[in-house]
Structure 1
């Protein structure tokens, strides 16, 4: 995930909350796109905002993977799950691994935690610096502006013998930003805990997003059919 403050208290429950995601299918789609567009000859992949590493589980059979994330608790879990993979705590807007990759991916709308186009430009410039010529960049944005409906509510539940979780959120748009207001109830044998947090998400315009990609040396396109409904994917090849 892209923000150190988000999910910090709930990193250990993250995989349970997102158990519904088909990481295997998503990873297969990402791999097919990399194979289709990649011009470089290597197999090094950088997973930006890798979280607990759920895509890495399936991508590692095809690539030599490095992961970065801003959330130390998430990385702690990822390192435990994948001890042979290298992980770094880093900000997607400003990091330097001093190496280049054949593919760079930033999935599950992590890019939307940036605060605007200025931050996006910094991030894309940094991504480009870490890609080989002919390397592929794949970014999954948040819901498209036209598809987003303000005022919607969502509920998710985890029902395991050792833990019960209820998460409810509202989503409201303010200009180009969406505020996701999350409320949690977490029950364990020790008791029930209530907590809440707000996430600020930026709705990037596809045209402006593509302009920034092209400005920083990418031949880029937006694919409407992505990994999740109404999100799509940006795919760029470094010139």
Structure 2
């Protein structure tokens, strides 16, 4: 699993235009439509810098976050404090963490699941998440849809971001390994700050794209029942072979404990 090493330092700048509030609207719609009782406590797996956790806390939810990146978690705590909330975060591996408590729902957003490239790791994570949920609790996550990845194909992308005197150009060069359902994403960041020399950051993130029925199978094997696939973040939409990012909505069943 990637810990975002150097990339994490510039994470919030790169994703400054990501509409976390709209995604939290989607999360709340899922809670209200599919939860058998009001959701109060939320486990945010792969919480990053708190992009979803903080807005959810401001909406009245109790949120606990875990992530493998210490840098991300420090940013999450600072952002939470600046927003007037206290966010409980832990540096944990999603395959083996144990918080010794249960939650009303679990979210795992922004393709965190795709960083589990081995089937055994995916099942460890799913079983572990199940242990932190009460029977009937919801589990919501999004993933790269293999049908769309192979149909549309990843492509080279270049984009420039600017904020507070920093200019960052990100070049994304994907390498597709179709037979193994893997995409290696090569990031090249060129960073120029006021009065500073040009900094170049290179990182490779290896992710796995999954197919919907594959996800259904693993959920059922690990104590969940799939409730719905939909485009992320469009609860009423219909996911198909052109939907790159698919949301899976599942509930914890009695078979996973």
Moved more, 9-18 or 42-51: 9-18
Retained in 2: the 8 A contact 1:206–1:222? no
Retained in 2: the 8 A contact 1:17–1:156? no
Tell me how far apart the structure 2 counterparts of residues 180 and 10 of structure 1 sit (CA, whole Å).
Answer: 12
Note the alpha carbon deviations across 1:103-155, whole angstroms, 9 max, x for none.
1000000110012211110000011000111110001112x112114451112
Retained in 1: the 8 A contact 2:66–2:91? yes
Tell me how far apart the structure 1 counterparts of residues 9 and 129 of structure 2 sit (CA, whole Å).
Answer: 28
Matched, 1:231 2:232: no
Note the alpha carbon deviations across 1:71-101, whole angstroms, 9 max, x for none.
0000011111124110000001110000000
1:90 — aligned with what? 92
Task: Give the gaps of 5 or more residues in structure 1.
Answer: none
Which residue of 160, 163, 167 maps to 1:164? 167
Matched, 1:108 2:110: yes
2:128 — aligned with what? 126
- CA shift, 1:162, in A, is 1.3
3-state SS, counterpart of residue 146 of structure 1 = helix
Give structure 1 regions of 4+ aligned residues with deviation exceeding 3 angstroms: none
Which residue of 26, 48, 51 maps to 1:51? 48
Tell me how far apart the structure 2 counterparts of residues 111 and 170 of structure 1 sit (CA, whole Å).
Answer: 21
Task: Give the gaps of 5 or more residues in structure 2.
Answer: 235-242
Give the alignment of 1:29-44 within 5 angstroms. Answer: 29-44=26-41
3-state SS, counterpart of residue 245 of structure 2 = coil
3-state SS, counterpart of residue 124 of structure 1 = helix
3-state SS, counterpart of residue 132 of structure 1 = strand
Retained in 2: the 8 A contact 1:222–1:232? no
3-state SS, counterpart of residue 156 of structure 2 = strand
Moved more, 167-176 or 119-128: 167-176
Which residue of 152, 165, 183 maps to 2:188? 183
3-state SS, counterpart of residue 143 of structure 2 = coil
Question: If each structure's helix is expressed as a fraction of its own residues, which one has the higher value?
Answer: 2
Retained in 2: the 8 A contact 1:40–1:133? no
1:65 — aligned with what? 63
1:154 — aligned with what? 157
